[in-house]
C-alpha cells in the first residue's frame, strides 16, 4: 500500500519511519526542504506538493502544526483536494479545531473523498516506539480501513465518534496535560525554595495523589527523567507554542459551549508569556525555567 505523508516535522518524522519499518511505501511532502530530506533519509520518496502526494498514494496522512496549515494543505493551491482520486481516504493526525476537521471533511465529500481525524498523544518518545495513543473521529468503516496503517504508529487506537470528535478528545487531554505541567513546575519551585530535594519530592509525589503522567514522563525539572525534554535543554518534544495553541482551542470550544473554564485560560496565558520571552519553540515543560522566584525578597 502506498501511504502519503504530509508534514514531516518533529512528530511526522518518527511516525513516517515506523510506517517504512512496517513495510508501507511512503511518499512524503513538507514545505521545509530539510524536513523532506530527513523523510527521504528514513526511506520515503519525495513529492513536490501535497497534490502530488495525494495522486501517488492510496491513503493520505497529514501531520501539520495547526488549523490554518491543515486547511491550506487540503484545500489550498497545490493541496490534497487537487490530486486525490474519488473514493480515497484521508487521515489528519494534527491537533486542530474540530470545526476545521468537519469543514475539510465536508469539502472533500463533495469530491467523493473520505476524511477522518486521528490526533495523537504520547509525544516524540511514543511516536518513536510506535506506541502513540490515537483518537479517531469519523465513520466506523473508514476507521477500520485506516486501522492497519494507524497500528504501525500507535498502540492504543480508539474510535471516539463522528468526524471532529477525535480532536475534541485530544483538546480535553491537552487541557489536562498543559495545566499539569504548570502545576508540577510551580510545586517544584516552591519545594526547592524550602530546600526539598527534587528527586525525593518526585518519589513522594509518584506515590501520592498528585502523581501525573506529565511528571512521570515529561518531568519539567532537568535530570530526573532521562527521556524528558528538560534533560536535553528543553529541545521539543512538544513546543510551548503548540501547547498554547491547544489550550486556546480548548478555551474556544468551552466559550462556544458556554462552559465556564478557569485554569485552562490561565495556563494558556502563562505559556503565551513564556513564548514572548523566547521559549515558544522550546518544549512546553520549559515553563519551569520561566517560573523562577522573584529577586525581590520583600514579603508578599
What is the biggest distance separating any 2 CA atoms in the chain, rounded to whole angstroms?
A: 68
Residue 134 CB, nearest approach to ligand NAD (Å):
10
Residue bearing cell 471533511: 105
List 11, 47, 116, 225, residue binding ligand NAD (CB under 6 A): 11
List 238, 279, 285, 286, residue binding ligand NAD (CB under 6 A): 238
Produce one character per residue of 100-115: b if its CB has 16 or more CB atoms within 10 Å, e if not: bbbbbbeebeeeebbb
List 7, 14, 154, 164, residue binding ligand NAD (CB under 6 A): 7
Cell of 32: 521545509
Closer Cβ to ligand NAD, 80 or 221, answer by number: 80
Residue 247 CB, nearest approach to ligand NAD (Å):
11
Is 282 catalytic? The answer is no
Residue bearing cell 511514543: 126
The stretch among 177-185, 216-224, 231-239, 257-265 that binds ligand NAD (CB under 6 A) is 231-239
List 72, 152, 254, 261, residue binding ligand NAD (CB under 6 A): 72
Please name the residue ranges forming H helices in the chain.
12-21, 33-41, 50-56, 67-75, 80-83, 98-109, 123-129, 140-151, 165-193, 198-206, 213-218, 240-257, 263-274, 287-290
Cell of 239: 513546543
Closer Cβ to ligand NAD, 24 or 284, answer by number: 284
Contact footprint for ligand NAD (CB under 6 A): 6-12, 29-32, 35, 50, 63-65, 69, 72-73, 94-95, 120-121, 123-124, 236-238, 242, 246
Amino acid at each position: 500500500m502506498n501511504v502519503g505523508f504530509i508534514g514531516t516535522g518533529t512528530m511526522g518524522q518518527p511516525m513516517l519511519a515506523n510506517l517504512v519499518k512496517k513495510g508501507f511505501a511512503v511518499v512524503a511532502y513538507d514545505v521545509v526542504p530539510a524536513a523532506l530530506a530527513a523523510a527521504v533519509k528514513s526511506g520515503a520518496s519525495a513529492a513536490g506538493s501535497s497534490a502530488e502526494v495525494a495522486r501517488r498514494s492510496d491513503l493520505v496522512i497529514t501531520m501539520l502544526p495547526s488549523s490554518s496549515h491543515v486547511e491550506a494543505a487540503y484545500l489550498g493551491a497545490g493541496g490534497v483536494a487537487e490530486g486525490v482520486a474519488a473514493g480515497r481516504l484521508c487521515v489528519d493526525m494534527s491537533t486542530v479545531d474540530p470545526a476545521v476537521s468537519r469543514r475539510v471533511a465536508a469539502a472533500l465529500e463533495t469530491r467523493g473523498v473520505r476524511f477522518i481525524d486521528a490526533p495523537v498523544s504520547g509525544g516524540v518518545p511514543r511516536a518513536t516506539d510506535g506506541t502513540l495513543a490515537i483518537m479517531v473521529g469519523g465513520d466506523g468503516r473508514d476507521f477500520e480501513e485506516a486501522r492497519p496503517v494507524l497500528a504501525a504508529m500507535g498502540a492504543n487506537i480508539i474510535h471516539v465518534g463522528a468526524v471532529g470528535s477525535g480532536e475534541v478528545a485530544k483538546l480535553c487531554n491537552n487541557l489536562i496535560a498543559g495545566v499539569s505541567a504548570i502545576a508540577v513546575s510551580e510545586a517544584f519551585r516552591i519545594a526547592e525554595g524550602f530546600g526539598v530535594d527534587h528527586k525525593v519530592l518526585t518519589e513522594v509525589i509518584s506515590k501520592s495523589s498528585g502523581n501525573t503522567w506529565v511528571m512521570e514522563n515529561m518531568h519539567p525539572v532537568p535530570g530526573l527523567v532521562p527521556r524528558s525534554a528538560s534533560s536535553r535543554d528543553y529541545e521539543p518534544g512538544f513546543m510551548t507554542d503548540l501547547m498554547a495553541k491547544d489550550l486556546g482551542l480548548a478555551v474556544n470550544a468551552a466559550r462556544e459551549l458556554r462552559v465556564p473554564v478557569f485554569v485552562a485560560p490561565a495556563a494558556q496565558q502563562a505559556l503565551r508569556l513564556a513564548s514572548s520571552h523566547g521559549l515558544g519553540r522550546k518544549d512546553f515543560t520549559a515553563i519551569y525555567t520561566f517560573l523562577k522566584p522573584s529577586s525581590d525578597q520583600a514579603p508578599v
